[in-house]
Amino acid sequence: MKRSNVSNNVIRRLPRYLRKLDDLAGKGEERISSDKLGRQMGLTPSQIRQDFSCFGEFGQQGYGYNIDSLRKEIGQILGTYRGYSAILVGAGKLGTALVQNFDFIIEGYTFLGAFDIDPEIIGTRIDGFPVYDVAQLGDFVREHKVDIAILTVPRHAAQTLTDILREAGIRAIWNFTNTELEVGEDGPLVESIHFSDSFLVLTYHLAQEDDREKQ
Amino acid sequence: MKRSNVSNNVIRRLPRYLRKLDDLAGKGEERISSDKLGRQMGLTPSQIRQDFSCFGEFGQQGYGYNIDSLRKEIGQILGTYRGYSAILVGAGKLGTALVQNFDFIIEGYTFLGAFDIDPEIIGTRIDGFPVYDVAQLGDFVREHKVDIAILTVPRHAAQTLTDILREAGIRAIWNFTNTELEVGEDGPLVESIHFSDSFLVLTYHLAQEDDREKQ
């Protein structure tokens, strides 16, 4: 499988393809041409063919793509069903909401539990998963070889917990703290969801509309 | 102010600049060169100058940027302090978490309240804001000229509520439903946070690391 130098833009489109293919499969569709897929996703057919060509040959000229095999191929590329393990660090409302909706996030991962500093929730359960004392975080990550930490702590605690996770050998941090984490050169992968950035892109476009109308 | 044809990549970098400048201002810094800003953000100085040049002249050759005025300029471009109004549609855990953390999202917006279908929470309050019956949603948007709907309903309800919001004249939807919304040609702006896409980008990189090690 070819994989060298795949651009970030291509990587970020892969989950969109997967969602679209899931939708199509859910509607009972079996095949789709790159033309039709492109129209439905706002991409050109040649862009789609180019994206997929980074990973090998998925379609057959003139026959389009088999939806089920394409889903499996893309799912495989995206690391689904590899049994990656995840923990939640910060069991507040946002973290709890993420865990409770976690089934929509990825198939074939293993969720191990949550960590928090609040004595009132340590020892309770979220969706059946235990909530541990955050003091145990480093040892737990070392003992269980955890792959991914979902970081949903308040901003002021973000870097301290990142340091603990990094030292314990975590492989990846999914960052919801609205701050940039410093992980150093050999540190874990970091993927951030910055709510405020997304909101400000929306208000940017509103402001643009308003300014255009004033002109 | 020049604004035509600003690329999506530039627009998406603006909130990152704003966060960085907020950090620097918080540390008491007053000026920063494009060199230093670039190093701290992983961008080249010329990229930074190019990004800002889309919107006018912010820096002075040889003197760098005044942090406080740059923050204000970028904030203005991003539509902060314009008093945009927002409502929450779907007052579950995720929506509630967003509203409670809303102060980190944008300064100078107006939050008007939440809507839900659950009789148990209709009439209660979230962070002091009323929770209304979702049956009133269309009328409320029309009467209050709401700018932004934060959509945090279950996936199966996403399109129905989008249609109601669109018909009532909402200007923008901040979409957390993990599905693509159909809004038509003249419909509202849509900005989506797809949790699963972000998570899959993380597992993509983990899978890459694993495959490299096996080779």
Average pLDDT over residues B3-8: 73
Does B46 or B133 have the greater pLDDT score?
B133
The angle that helices B137-144 and B158-167 make with each other, rounded to 10 degrees, is 40
**pLDDT of res. A214:** 80
pLDDT(A193) > 60: yes
Q: What pLDDT score does B105 carry?
A: 59
Highest mean pLDDT among A9-13, A178-182, A208-212, B118-122: B118-122
Give CA–CA dist A137/A130, Å, rounded.
Answer: 13
Q: How many residues does the structure list for chain A?
A: 215
Structural domains of chain B, ranges and CATH numbers in brackets: 8-77 (1.10.10.10), 85-197 (3.40.50.720)
How confident is the model at residue B175, as a pLDDT? 97
- B164-211 pLDDT, tens per residue? 999 999 999 999 998 889 998 899 999 999 998 999 999 999 999 998
B189–A196 CB contact, under 8 Å: no
Contact B52, B100 (CB under 8 A): no
State the Cα–Cα distance between residues A63 and A65, nearest whole angstrom: 7
Query: Cβ–Cβ of B199/A174 closer than 8 Å?
Result: yes
pLDDT at A59 over 70: no
Query: CB-based burial of residue A150 (10 Å sphere; 0-12 exposed, 13-18 middle, 19+ buried)?
Result: buried
Q: Compute the average pLDDT of residues B113-134.
A: 96
Kindly state the average pLDDT of the residues A29-45: 91
* Residues comprising chain B, all counted: 215
Note whether A170 contacts B: Cβ–Cβ < 8 A. Answer: no
The listed range with the strongest mean pLDDT (A72-76, A81-85, A180-184, B156-160) is B156-160
Say yes or no: B18 contacts chain A, CB-CB below 8 A. Answer: yes
pTM (2 d.p.): 0.90
Least confident of A135-149, B92-106, B121-135, B182-196: B92-106
Residue B2: what pLDDT?
47
In this complex, which of B15, B202, B204 lies closest to A194 when CB atoms are compared? B15
Q: How far apart are CA B59 and CA A134, in angstroms?
A: 45
pLDDT, chain A, mean? 90
pLDDT above 90 covers a percentage of chain A that reads: 64
pLDDT at B1: 46
| Amino acid at residue number A31 | R
* Residue reference for tokens 């955050």: A134
Mean pLDDT of A177-195: 92
Any chain A CB within 8 A of the CB of B177?
no
Evaluate if residue B142 carries a pLDDT over 90: yes
Q: What is the DSSP letter of B145?
A: T
Judge whether residue B158 has pLDDT over 90.
yes
In this model, does residue A60 exceed pLDDT 70?
Answer: no
Question: Looking at beta carbons, which residues of chain A come within 8 Å of B202?
Answer: 148, 172, 174, 189, 191
Query: Which of B16, B94, B210 is opposite residue A97, by nearest beta carbon?
Result: B94
- φ, ψ of residue B169 to 5 degrees: the values are 90, 25
Complex confidence, ipTM: 0.91
pLDDT for residue B56: 76
Handedness of CA B75, B77, B83, B85 (dihedral sign): negative
Give how far Cα A199 sits from Cα of A103, A175, B23, B103, Å: 25, 17, 19, 12
Chains A and B form CB pairs within 8 A to the count of 179
Beta bridge partners of A125: A130
Q: Kindly state whether B80 is in contact with chain A, defined as any CB-CB distance less than 8 angstroms.
A: yes
HSE-up of residue A59 (Cα within 13 Å, Cβ side) = 22
What is the average per-residue pLDDT within B11-20? 92
Partner B contacted by A199 (CB < 8 A)? yes
